[in-house]
């Protein structure tokens, strides 16, 4: 008899963003004439930068000629992209990462979800609350039960305190999804020191680093001394350059990073992840990697910055308007997300905004217990739609 992985029965019936999409679809079916403004899932709306499109086209043309055609590429990604990443994303910020420590993939969602496979099942996992649901769900799927929640609330300015009981695997995300909170170098240093003294590992999700405009904030955990021994970092081009539909991201596993077997012997996590990656993944397509490479050209840098500046202008407007309506907000300055204290049940506020304003947000409760009473508003839309959404919310709450 075929049996299921019963850990799946411990999960919520459906993934948060599928749940929201279903509610929105039902609303649209009932009100086909209503135009809905989506500030829910963090999906970009603006076209790819011109530099990326040009590189994409050229690479497609390469595929049209036998002489320049590419079949399977290296599973870890082409050297042309890995070298650019090492130089521009790390060396330029004083972080020492070599190209062969970088694994190109089709998304940070997959990498943050898959990485837990290389760790034992009986480890203690520290997961922020509220949190991007993928970290928690994938650990539940794997059958891990020793989970410590790192509460992020107004009391700690949405930066979790160090765990009281030693944790083996720690998930951190800054700028944070969902709260938009950022961490200082000094704050991040306390986590690196904690991991070093507890032989733990930090999984650092930096998918939103391109939104940082405060020069004092770290873009990478590897800007912190000693982090190479105790951290893996995840990056994504989804929000940086509008690649949500194009798919390209990367994960950095430094060769100094170790984890231990039952006898206490140390093993290179780089080798384990390389083994997993080469077995289960066949690389990102050549044209997509060429498009990603173009982000690092002079034009590409200018264009991606302009793209993000546009979303940040929306974020500033949303935060100002929501604050003006009497709601406490965080995020939206170095982040595309604004975390709003709804002063009521978060699904109730979600329904109110959908039904009375035709605006989709994300209910905070979907991100964990501490998200109850909050909503997350995303800045990914046109400025006109952000303005229109705020006008509709003002009217709905009047």
Tell me whether residue 177 or residue 289 sits nearer to ligand MLT (CB atom). 177
| Least Cβ distance, residue 109 to ligand MLT (angstroms) | 4
Alpha helices in the chain (DSSP H): 16-30, 50-62, 79-85, 108-114, 133-141, 185-198, 238-241, 269-280, 286-293, 298-324, 346-352, 383-397
Phi, psi for residue 179 in degrees, rounded to 5: -80, -20
Q: Are 209 and 176 in contact (CB under 8 A)?
A: no
Binding mask 156-195 for ligand MLT (x = CB under 6 A): ---------------------x------------------
Binding mask 15-54 for ligand MLT (x = CB under 6 A): --------------------------xxx-----------
| Least Cβ distance, residue 236 to ligand MLT (angstroms) | 7
Q: Are 56 and 191 in contact (CB under 8 A)?
A: no
Tell me whether residue 107 or residue 160 sits nearer to ligand MLT (CB atom). 107
Q: Are 181 and 187 in contact (CB under 8 A)?
A: no
Among positions 272-311, residues that touch ligand MLT (CB under 6 A) are none
Q: Are 17 and 275 in contact (CB under 8 A)?
A: no
| Least Cβ distance, residue 177 to ligand MLT (angstroms) | 5
| Least Cβ distance, residue 57 to ligand MLT (angstroms) | 26
| Least Cβ distance, residue 225 to ligand MLT (angstroms) | 30
| Least Cβ distance, residue 243 to ligand MLT (angstroms) | 11
Q: What sign does the CA torsion over 196, 197, 200, 203 have? A: negative
The site that binds ligand MLT (CB under 6 A) totals a number of residues, namely 6
Tell me whether residue 76 or residue 177 sits nearer to ligand MLT (CB atom). 177
**SS3 string of 32-45?**
CCCCCEECCCCCCC
| Least Cβ distance, residue 133 to ligand MLT (angstroms) | 8
Residue from 338, 297, 353, 345 nearest 38 by CA: 353
Q: Are 257 and 268 in contact (CB under 8 A)?
A: yes
In angstroms, rounded to a whole number, what is the distance separating the alpha carbons of residues 223 and 242? Answer: 25
Binding mask 60-99 for ligand MLT (x = CB under 6 A): ----------------------------------------
| Least Cβ distance, residue 17 to ligand MLT (angstroms) | 6
In angstroms, rounded to a whole number, what is the distance separating the alpha carbons of residues 150 and 163? Answer: 7
Tell me whether residue 81 or residue 379 sits nearer to ligand MLT (CB atom). 379
Tell me whether residue 269 or residue 342 sits nearer to ligand MLT (CB atom). 342
Binding mask 210-229 for ligand MLT (x = CB under 6 A): --------------------
Query: Which single residue is written with the structure tokens 């798919």?
Result: 247
Contacts of 336 (CB under 8 A, 6+ apart): 42, 180, 208, 211, 239, 311, 312, 315, 378, 379, 380
- Buried residues in 122-131 as b, exposed as e (16+ CB within 10 A): ebbbbbbbbb
In angstroms, rounded to a whole number, what is the distance separating the alpha carbons of residues 103 and 142? Answer: 23
Q: Which of 38, 82, 109, 319 binds ligand MLT (CB under 6 A)?
A: 109
339 has which bridge partners? 330, 376
Q: Give the residue closest to ligand MLT by C-beta.
A: 42
**DSSP conformation class of 193:** H
| Contact status: 247 vs ligand MLT (CB under 6 A) | no
Q: Are 380 and 311 in contact (CB under 8 A)?
A: yes
Tell me whether residue 21 or residue 148 sits nearer to ligand MLT (CB atom). 21
| Least Cβ distance, residue 364 to ligand MLT (angstroms) | 12
Among positions 329-368, residues that touch ligand MLT (CB under 6 A) are none
| Least Cβ distance, residue 102 to ligand MLT (angstroms) | 20
Tell me whether residue 11 or residue 258 sits nearer to ligand MLT (CB atom). 11
Q: Which of 56, 90, 103, 132 binds ligand MLT (CB under 6 A)?
A: 132
| Least Cβ distance, residue 251 to ligand MLT (angstroms) | 15
In angstroms, rounded to a whole number, what is the distance separating the alpha carbons of residues 16 and 40? Answer: 11
Greatest pairwise CA separation for the chain in angstroms: 65
| Contact footprint for ligand MLT (CB under 6 A) | 41-43, 109, 132, 177
């Amino acid at each position: 008899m075929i049996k299921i992985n019963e850990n799946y029965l411990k999960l919520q019936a459906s993934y948060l963003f599928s749940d929201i999409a279903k509610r929105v679809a039902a609303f649209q079916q009932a009100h086909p004439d209503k135009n809905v403004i989506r500030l829910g899932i963090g999906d970009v709306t603006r076209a790819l930068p011109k530099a990326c499109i040009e590189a994409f086209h050229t690479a497609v043309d390469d595929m049209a000629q036998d002489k320049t055609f590419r079949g399977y590429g290296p599973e870890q990604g082409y050297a042309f992209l890995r070298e650019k990443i090492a130089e521009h994303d790390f060396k330029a910020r004083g972080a020492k990462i070599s190209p062969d420590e970088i694994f190109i993939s089709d998304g940070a969602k997959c990498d943050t979800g898959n990485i837990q496979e290389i760790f034992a099942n009986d480890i203690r996992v520290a997961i922020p609350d509220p949190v991007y649901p993928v970290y928690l769900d994938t650990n539940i799927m794997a059958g891990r039960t020793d989970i410590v929640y790192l509460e992020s609330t107004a009391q700690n300015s949405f930066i979790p305190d160090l765990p009281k009981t030693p944790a083996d695997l720690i998930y951190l995300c800054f700028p944070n999804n969902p709260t938009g909170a950022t961490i200082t170098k000094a704050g991040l240093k306390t986590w690196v020191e904690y991991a070093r003294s507890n032989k733990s590992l930090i999984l650092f999700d930096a998918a939103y680093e391109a939104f940082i405009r405060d020069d004092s904030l770290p873009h990478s955990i590897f800007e912190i001394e000693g982090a190479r021994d105790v951290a893996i970092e995840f990056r994504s081009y989804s929000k940086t350059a509008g690649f949500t539909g194009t798919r390209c991201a990367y994960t950095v596993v430094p060769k100094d990073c170790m984890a231990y077997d039952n006898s206490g012997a140390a093993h290179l996590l780089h080798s384990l992840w390389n083994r997993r990656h080469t077995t289960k993944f066949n690389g990102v397509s050549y044209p997509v990697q060429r498009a990603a490479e173009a982000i690092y050209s002079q034009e590409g840098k200018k264009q991606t910055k302009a793209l993000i500046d546009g979303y940040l202008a929306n974020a500033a407007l949303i935060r100002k308007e929501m604050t003006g309506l009497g709601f406490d907000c965080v995020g939206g300055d170095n982040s595309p997300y604004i975390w709003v204290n709804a002063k009521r049940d978060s699904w109730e506020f979600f329904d109110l905004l959908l039904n009375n304003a035709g605006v989709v947000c994300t209910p905070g409760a979907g991100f964990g217990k501490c998200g109850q009473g909050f909503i997350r508003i995303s800045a990914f839309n046109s400025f006109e739609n952000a303005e229109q959404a705020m006008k509709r919310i003002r009217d709905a709450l009047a």
